[in-house]
Structure 1
Amino acid sequence: MATFLLIIIYLAFISLGLPDSLLGSAWPVMQPDFGAPLETAGILFMTIAGGTIISSLISGRVLKRYGTGKVTFVSVLMTAVALLGFHFAPSIVWLIICAVPLGLGAGAVDTGLNDYVATNYKARHMSWLHCFWGVGATLGPITMAQFISEDNSWRNGYLVISGIQFALVIILLFTLPIWKKVSRKRDITIQEETKDLKGEIEEEDNNIKPIKTKGVKLALSSFFFYCGVEATVGLWGSSFLVNVKGLSVVTAAGWISFYYAGITIGRLITGFITYKITNRTLIRWGQIIALIGTIILVLPLPSVFSLIGFITIGLGLAPIFPCMLHETPTRFGKKNSQTIMGYQMALAYTGTTFMPPLLGFMASQSTIGIFPIAIVIFVVAMFLSSEKLNIIMKKKDVYKRNDMSSTL
């Protein structure tokens, strides 16, 4: 049963990745169809991101009330309907309206499934889960490009992706009883742990709001800077290569694709490494490797080293996000994990939404040559937040061991 449900979760994460890269792929064709200015895509992106942030913030309460299965079912249904709305949209206004449920649905699915896997499965499954997101994010533009190249119809691309989402909705509907059974087991486990570990810090902080739990703000900072790095490198890396390193647009785009390949392949490999290495160690070394990659970009080296730098950054980033997510129940307890997971996803999307435009504004006032320096600063900020959080967690671990020994 657990294996079958895990397959469903993997499929859900592929479907989560499918719409994420559609707008960028289709916009060059959508723009003249609607007669819209170029920056309209930014408005649509911000609307989707805003909905995602809102749903992530409230997802903790929603998940506790309705359960992960129902929330996932409704959220995927929302995204399916929204994508179908994109297919039929007669104007930009309708696209903006459809962007709202698209964002709301994505945020709830992301938070719910991340918490579910972090609580019920091993660390390797979290890495592979985000690897499957990469599969979806890769298939989305490939599907769209196929329809655009054949009949110049971006609408049919959205229609097909919507159909895939509706197929998943049907699967989720028939698997709702399985979610309920696993959720009941999860609730029993949490109750037993809460009863048996009365001496733990988590139990002492029962009346403290999750956001005020020790270490939560540092975890949120880590997520904010991580996603800021990932999105900023993806958005501005090509411009850096063209304007600073003198590469052609085609070559620069190809080199950035290696960056994303590094993240996807790195997460596949990380799933196997977790058998031997802890999440905290993987997070630390991932940040160090990413920092090495950014330093390679800063140094005045031949252009080919930039490719090595981007691949190194991708490989370094690969384990960080899934391992931080999987650490959430361990760091803050299963009781608060759903709510804190929602906070983390909200800050992650906030970093994705605002950090790239911030660098773009800074670059417009100076030069895109500041790109690698800014990435170094972001990575260092993430590393310091993560290491300070590790210190708090070590103190908590010592407190647990001392408390347990005193009760023997």
Structure 2
Amino acid sequence: MRFRQARPPVLVSYAAFVLVGINVGISGVLLPSQMASYGVDRATIGIIFFTGSAGFVLASVSTGALIQRAGIRIALTAGGGAFVLAGLYLATRPPFIAFVLAQLVLGYGTGVLESGLNVYIAGLPGATTLLNRLHAFFGVGALIGPPLAAWILGFASWTVVWLVVAAAGVPLVAGFLLAYPGRERSATDAPGAPVVHAVPDGPGPSPAPAPARRGMLHTALRDRGVQLGTAMLFVYVGVELGVGNWGFSYLVQARGLHASIAGYTISGFWLGLTLGRFLISPIAARAGATTAAMIYACLAGITAAIAAAWLSPAAVACVAFGLLGFFLGPVFPTTMAIVPRLTQPRLVPTAIGVMNAGAVIGGSALPWLAGTIAQNAGMQALLPFVLALSLAQFAVWRPIAARLGRRD
């Protein structure tokens, strides 16, 4: 498929990831209003994080089967529809139990969108650059979300924020129906097998027979390439959200910075993440660097930035946080882009879902562990913990790079 033919669905993908980013960005801003509205404390409102994550993981591990049976168009339409319906229901201010359960549907819709769009873009020419841009637009949405929610809360309730977000999802659902291809099959495909386009970064593994009498999910979970990719994203998201969630507290409590400066520093971290996804992959492509070399360079930059943020004076540490985000940026989308080179073509949709689920689990477990360590050893322990995770990324990436090298 030529990019010119793929351009409308790619643009819709970018818009969808902006909306997903807005969804993440507004959550923290809305929590105080939601707590006041329902008369609950932080521990109680925190239940929505578990239900939302459960919905996302369920979607991630089932999206591959959904795409294989119904096609990418129907899968994305279903995910977008679930997102819109959950948002509209939240806008009615349902009873608290229903509010919590609605997060399950919202998480499911978000998970289908993220996994499905990663699957589609991973099969296009220039997938590495396109996926970096896709995830960069998530960062754009995450930057837009907080000020948008704060502005609306200045004159309306939190339910209006959800009404606006849900309404923004309606044209996207229409875009999925109009722009994306229907289910395709060829004479050599097994019934329901997805079409996986060639990726120019290098040839993928030779097609293998469809697993007989064995589910795609079971096969993907046992696949070495999928296991490595999942481990990479598990650790990566632990670094990203460990810094994103606890970096502010570290700067204020361990470094003694004013809250406003710490806030700007964390905003710089997220801005750096977005810019890294827009800039690093195209620069690497122009320089002729391989995917493996680009990620090795990013991992070195991540490690150096964490060390600088930990050991340097406060002013340098603030700059290091931005650089940390910049070098982190390409790791997640690039790992998604190489999935067709890590596993069998037929397993790609399911593999991406499994990797997304691993990322969600890592994004919950490792920041929790970081917080627990900081609670017992002091907030100054955050960056040594994150530094250990960055070194673990090197250990996981090495066998992935070796697999890529054998297929280049």
TM-score, normalized by length of structure 1?
0.89
- In 1, Cα distance between the equivalents of 2:344 and 2:86? 35
Of 381, 384, 403, 1:373 maps to 384
Partner in structure 1 of residue 89 of structure 2: 85
Post-superposition shift, 1:66?
Answer: 1.0
Q: Which residue of 2 aligns with 1:146?
A: 151
Q: Sort the Cα spacing of 1:288 and 1:145 in 2 relative to 1 into closer, same or farther, 3 A.
A: same
Q: Which residue number corresponds to residue 404 of structure 1? A: none
Q: Provide Cα deviations, 1:163-193, integer angstroms capped at 9, x if missing partner.
A: 0012212232333xx4127x45898796999
1:253 aligns with 2:269: no
Matches within 5 A, 1:138-287: 138-149=143-154, 151-175=155-179, 178-180=180-182, 183=184, 203=208, 209-276=219-286, 277-287=289-299
The one-letter code matched in structure 2 to 1:235 is N
- What residue is the counterpart of 1:16 in the other structure? 20
Pairwise CA distance, 1:8:
1.4
Native 8 Å contact 1:124 1:274 kept in 2:
no
Q: 1:4 to 1:360 in 2, by over 3 A?
A: same
Alpha-carbon distance between aligned partners in 2 of 1:327 and 1:187, rounded to the nearest angstrom: 24
CA contact (8 A) 1:286 1:316 kept: yes
In the TM superposition, what whole-angstrom CA distance separates every residue of 1:190-249 from its partner, at most 9, and x where no partner exists? 6999xxxxx966538966922222332222111100011111100000000000100111
Give the Cα separation in 1 of the matches to 2:350 and 2:363.
Answer: 20
Give the AA of the match of 2:139: G
Identify if the C-alpha distance between structure 1 residues 140 and 187 changes in structure 2 by more than 3 Å, giving closer, same or farther: farther
Contact 2:292/2:404, CA 8 A, preserved across alignment: no
Partner Cα separation in structure 2 for residue 192 and residue 13 of structure 1: 22
Distance 1:186 1:30, change over 3 A: farther
Aligned residues of 1:266 and 1:315 also touching (Cα < 8 A): yes
Q: Is the 8 A contact 2:17 2:138 kept in 1?
A: yes
SS in 2 for 1:18: helix
Unaligned runs of 5+ in 1: 194-198, 399-408
Number of aligned residue pairs: give it: 387
User: Mean Cα displacement is larger for which, 213-222 or 74-83?
Assistant: 213-222
Distance in 2 between residues matched to 1:118 and 1:16, nearest whole Å: 18
CA distance in 2, matches of 1:79, 1:340: 23
Contact 1:119-1:334 at 8 Å conserved across structures: no
Counterpart in the other structure of 1:359: 370
> 1:127 matched to which residue of 2?
132
Where structure 2 has 5 or more consecutive residues not aligned to the other structure, the ranges are 199-203
Report if aligned partners of 1:118, 1:329 keep a CA contact under 8 Å in 2: yes
Task: Confirm or deny: 8 A CA contact 1:283 1:324 kept in the other structure.
Answer: no
1:334 Cα offset (Å): 2.3
The aligned counterpart of 2:70 is 66
Query: AA paired with 2:141?
Result: G
Matches within 5 A, 1:321-332: 321-332=332-343
- Paired with 1:397 and 1:173, the residues of 2 have a C-alpha distance of 36
Query: Which structure shows the higher helix fraction?
Result: 1
Using the alignment, how far apart are the partners of 2:342 and 2:310 within structure 1? 35
**Alpha-carbon distance between aligned partners in 2 of 1:311 and 1:34, rounded to the nearest angstrom:** 37
For residue 350 of structure 1, what is the aligned residue in structure 2?
361
Q: Structure 2 length as normaliser, TM-score?
A: 0.89
- Is the CA contact (8 Å cut-off) linking 1:48 and 1:104 kept in structure 2? yes
Identity %: 25
